Structures are given as C-alpha cells and as structure tokens.
Structure 1
C-alpha cells in the first residue's frame, strides 16, 4: 500500500504531530508500505487564487473576516502547492490537519482519506484571547468538523475527551475512532542522576492556553514556603516577554531559565526531575507521554487528554486549571518527598512504555487503512 501522510506545515516543531508522524513514516517504510510526507512550506503565502467551496456550509457567509480570510487563503495556497508538487497517486492519504484533508479530497476524490484531528484551533484561539466563543470565527472553525465528517472515510483523534468535544459539531460522533499518540522509545533515554536542587521543566509554546502564568504564581508560592527548585522553560512564543516580566515581578527571575525554542527537548529532559504544565486545555498533551518516557514525575491539569494520561497520585498529580495554590501544593509534594517523586516517575514510565508505544499506533493504523482500502494487502 502506497501511503501519503499529509501535514500542514513541515514537521519542525517539537511535540504533538511532529513527535510522531515522521516515525510513523519510518515504521511503515520498514514494513514494506511505502510512505511519504507532504506539507506546505512556510514560505508559500498568497499564491492560491481558486475559490473555496464546501459541501456542508456556505463559506461566503464568513468571508471578509480577517482570521477566516487568512484560513481560506492558506487553503488556496495548499491547493496551489499540491497541484504544483504532487506528481503521483497513492492508495491512501492520511491527513493530520483539516486543510490538507479537505484539499486532498478536493483534488483526489477517489483516493481513500483518513483524517486525524490532533487539536482544536478554535479553542486555542479562544484561550489565547484571539477570538470569542460563539463569534463568526468560532462558528466557521467548528463547521469544519462537519465538512470533514462529510468528506473523509474515517476520522481519528487522540483522546476520548476530544471526541466528546467534537460531539456537538458532527452527526455521528460514535464513528470517530480514538487512537492515542505513540512514541518511538529509541528517542527517550532515561538517565540516572541526582540533583542537589529539584529541577522542574516545562516544554510548550509560550501562549496563554498553556497556563504558564499560573505556573509562575505557583512557583512564587513555593519560594515563599522556602522550597528550593529551578524551573526550566523550553519553548518560545508571543508571550515570552510578558512571562519574563512576570518572573521579575514575582522575584523569580533567578529561579527560572528561559531557553527559547529547542528542536529535540527529549535529549535534555532526562536530566530533570519533574515535568509540569498547567494547560487550560489539551486535546492529548503529547509532551506528558514524552516526559514520562524520560522518567520524570508528572504534574498537570485535570483537562482533556492530560487527565486520560495521568491517574492522580499513581503516575502523576492532577490539579484544577487556573489554581496556582493547588499547583503549588502538588509541586511541594513532589519536591519535598524524593521517594514519592521517584515512584510517580517509575509508574509513569511503565504506563507510557505500555500504552503509548509507537508499535501500538502502527498496528491500529494498519487496521484502519485496510478497512477503508481492503484491496491493498499488507506486505510484511
């Protein structure tokens, strides 16, 4: 079976899709199923000129809105780039973003199409203060789910909570198949170490949705209690300056290191002790599984896919979102009790090895691919 994995932008960023899809390609190639990646280069802007038409709703009702117009122009650009660069046919296309999914079905209507919805763009925009719930951008972006349902042969997502999130926007939510993300274990090499001061680490894009303001306030509370720690923040984004200023205001600047963007943070994580990320929402939260595979204790918020990965008190700690005091209490537990911290990390590692293996993902995807294209037989 010849497979195309269609991404949005090239897989350059750590976490999420980029942590998995290139490794899916590698595994399928080894199995004898030739697999290629396709994406839109970031340099391609404003090239596409074709009108955009959808089957389940009228796009014209939303045109003229800057956010929606930008989305539609990206769709046109993807059409332009695909027509320019795609020169062969495939037995199956697996898209990992709504735009490539709908473009591929438009241009290759007879090719079976699988779509994995990895996250909610509209929810991220709301949490980051860019749009309002119920506004035209929100209505447009949630309408895309219905269009995907009408056009694709199978919709997948990474968590049960995200399937529930999509329920109001599709006709048959029960047909959405949940396949949690998986990770190539060879990338993660836990290292035995003993830090004199507990080292906290977070890895994410620096945007409001990730709740790093809550984390800084929790760290200020820890410092007031006399708990020693260093917080390492890996990632970049539009609120980095704001977070650095907040660290200064909270008298934390000497306790925090801002690293900026890092391509392979999993090479760095095993030297730390605790992974913490108080997200306001997560469809899955791949970085928690990655941190678990690095043998770190996990502290996260009781939202979305994070709550499906962490069993509170067993393989990590869960706290309510928007609650710096609860987060400080959880961090104090793992900082002050090395044995408890070690046991959480060990259990998290065991679960991640078992539940979030890439081999499990490959097996499940093979089954899906053969169900929607039974003419193609597996070649082991």
Structure 2
C-alpha cells in the first residue's frame, strides 16, 4: 500500500506532529507498505495564484481580514507546490494540517484522504491576542472544520477534549476518531541523577497561550517562601524579551535560564527533575508525554489534552490555568519531597509507555489504512 503523509511544516520543525510522523516510516516497511513524507518549504511564498472556492461556505465574506488573506494565499502556495512536486499517485493520503488535507483532495480528488486535526489555530490566535473571539478570522477558521469534514474521507484528532471542541463546527461529531500522538521510546533515555537544587524545565514556543507569565509569577512565590530551584526555559518566540523583563521585575531572573530554540530538547531533558507548563489551551500537549518518557515529574494546567495525560496526584499534578498561587503550591510539593517527585515521575513514565507508544499508534493507523485498501 502506497501512503503519503502530508505535513505542513517540514518534519524537522518542532512540535507534536514532527515528533511522531518521521518515526512512522521505519514501522511501515516494504513490501507491504511504502510511505513518503511531504511538506512545503518555508521559503515558498506567494507562488500560488489559483482561484480558491470552498464547497461549504463563501470565504469572500471574510476576505477583508489580513489573517484570512494570508491563510488563503498559503493554501494557494501549498496547491502550487503539490502540483509541482508530486507526479505520482498514492493509495491513501494522511494529512496533518487543514491546508494539506484540502490541497491534497484538490490535486488528488479520487484518492482517499484521512485528515488528522492536531490543534486549534484559531484558539491559539485568540489566546495570543492576534484575533478576536467570534471575529471574522475566528468564523473563517472554524468554518474550515466543516469543509474538511465534507471534502476528506475521515477525520481524526488527538484527544477526546479536542474532539469535544470540534463538536459545534462539524455535522457528524460522533464519526471523529481519536488517536493520541505516539512516541518512539528509543528517543528517550532517562538518566538516574541527584540534583541538590530542584531543576524545573519547560519547553514551548514563547507565546501568551503557553502561560509562561503565570509560571514566572509562581516561581516568584516559591522564592518568597525560601525554596531553592532553577527554572530552565527552552524555546523562543515573540514574547521572549517581555518574559525576560518580567522575570527581572519579579526578582527571579537569576534563577531562570532562557535557552532559546533547541532542536532536540529530549537529549538533555532527563537531567532535570520537573517538567512544568501552565498552558491556557492544549489539544494534546506532546511535550508532556515526552517529559514523562524522560522520567520527569509533570505539572500542568487542568485543560484539554493535558488533563487526559495526567491523573492528578498519581501521574503528575494539575492546576487551574492562570493561577500562580496553586501552581506555586504544586511546584512546592515536588520540590520539597523528592520521594513524591520520583513516584510521580515513575507513574507518569509508565502511563506514557502504555498509552503513547509509537507501536500503539502504528497498530491503530494500520487498521484504519487497510480499510481503504483497493
């Protein structure tokens, strides 16, 4: 069976999709399976010029928005690149971004296209202050879900909470399948270590949606309580300078290390003790599974896919988003009690191995793919 995994970003880019899809290839071996990966290079800009029409709504009512114009142009560019680069046919295409799915169905109308929806672009834009809830952009981006449902052959998503999020925007919510992301355990090598001072780490893009401002406020509370720690922030983004200034204002800059972007944080994540990320929204939160497989204790927001990964008090700790006091309380528990921290880390690692292994994802995907075998 000849398969195409259609990504948006190149597979070396950070994120949940890129942490899983490239590792699928070695599990879909010839002669029974052939798998290719496809994505659009970042340098492709304003190449496409096709007229764009959607079948379930008129996008022109939203075209006054620059965000909508950019999205549609990106769709044109993806179409242009697909037609330029793909000259062969496939038995099945699995798309991992809405633009990829719509473009593939446009270019290969007779090929089954399975669409995985990994996150909510509109929710991220709202939380990051880029668009207004219920504004033109929000209406356009949520209309895309029904278009995907109408044009592709099957919808998948990564968590039950995100499936519930999609309910208002599709006609057949009950037909969406949930397959959480999977991870190749060989990439993660826990290392026994004893840190005299608790080492906290977070890995994310530095945008408001990730709640790093709340984390810095919680760390200020920890310092006020006389607790020793170091916070490692791995990632970059548009609010990095703002966060560095906030750390200075809160008096925690000397306890905080800003690393910037790192391609493979899992290579040195095992040397830390606690992974913490107080996101304001998260469809799945792949980095939590990755941190668990590195045997770190988990602390996260009680929202979205994070809540499905963490059983509070057993495989990690959950706190309300935007609550620096409760986040500080949770961090204090794992800082002052190493035995409890190790217990959470061990339970979290076992849970991740049992529920988020790449082998499980491969098994579930093969069952779905074979339903479309000619």
Q: Secondary structure at the match of 2:364?
A: helix
CA distance in 1, matches of 2:75, 2:200: 40
- What's the counterpart of residue 215 of structure 1? 215
CA distance in 2, matches of 1:257, 1:45: 35
CA distance in 2, matches of 1:21, 1:168: 29
**How do residues 141-152 of structure 1 correspond to structure 2 at under 5 angstroms?**
141-152=141-152
CA distance in 1, matches of 2:32, 2:235: 36
- What's the counterpart of residue 45 of structure 1? 45
How many matched pairs? Answer: 374
CA distance in 2, matches of 1:288, 1:340: 18
- What's the counterpart of residue 286 of structure 2? 286
How far is the alpha carbon of 1:14 from its aligned partner? 2.6
C-alpha change, 1:30 and 1:351, in structure 2 (3 Å) is farther
Q: CA RMSD in A?
A: 0.8
After superposing the two structures, state which structure 1 stretch, 29-38 or 313-322, moved more. Answer: 29-38
How far is the alpha carbon of 1:24 from its aligned partner? 1.3
Conservation of the 8 A alpha-carbon contact between 2:91 and 2:373: no
Conservation of the 8 A alpha-carbon contact between 1:5 and 1:95: yes
Conservation of the 8 A alpha-carbon contact between 1:14 and 1:265: no
How far is the alpha carbon of 1:15 from its aligned partner? 3.1
- What's the counterpart of residue 182 of structure 1? 182
CA distance in 1, matches of 2:231, 2:92: 44
CA distance in 1, matches of 2:179, 2:302: 20
- What's the counterpart of residue 263 of structure 1? 263
**How do residues 192-341 of structure 1 correspond to structure 2 at under 5 angstroms?**
192-341=192-341
Q: Which string of whole-angstrom CA distances, capped at 9 and with x for unpartnered residues, describes residues 279-311 of structure 1?
A: 000000000000000000000000000000000
Q: Secondary structure at the match of 1:16?
A: coil
How far is the alpha carbon of 1:137 from its aligned partner? 0.1
- What's the counterpart of residue 378 of structure 1? none
Unmatched runs of 5 consecutive residues or more in structure 1: 376-380
Q: Which string of whole-angstrom CA distances, capped at 9 and with x for unpartnered residues, describes residues 165-222 of structure 1?
A: 0000000100000001110000000000000100000000000000000000000000
CA distance in 1, matches of 2:84, 2:313: 53
Q: Secondary structure at the match of 1:93?
A: strand
CA distance in 2, matches of 1:81, 1:352: 37
CA distance in 1, matches of 2:344, 2:184: 22
Conservation of the 8 A alpha-carbon contact between 1:266 and 1:291: yes
- What's the counterpart of residue 153 of structure 1? 153
C-alpha change, 1:31 and 1:219, in structure 2 (3 Å) is farther
How far is the alpha carbon of 1:257 from its aligned partner? 0.4
How far is the alpha carbon of 1:30 from its aligned partner? 6.1
Conservation of the 8 A alpha-carbon contact between 1:298 and 1:317: yes
Q: Which string of whole-angstrom CA distances, capped at 9 and with x for unpartnered residues, describes residues 288-344 of structure 1?
A: 000000000000000000000000000100000010000000000000000000000
Q: Which string of whole-angstrom CA distances, capped at 9 and with x for unpartnered residues, describes residues 129-155 of structure 1?
A: 000110000000000000000011110
CA distance in 2, matches of 1:73, 1:310: 39
Q: Which string of whole-angstrom CA distances, capped at 9 and with x for unpartnered residues, describes residues 55-77 of structure 1?
A: 00011211131000000000000
C-alpha change, 1:232 and 1:30, in structure 2 (3 Å) is farther
Q: Which string of whole-angstrom CA distances, capped at 9 and with x for unpartnered residues, describes residues 39-90 of structure 1?
A: 0100000000011111000112111310000000000000111111111100
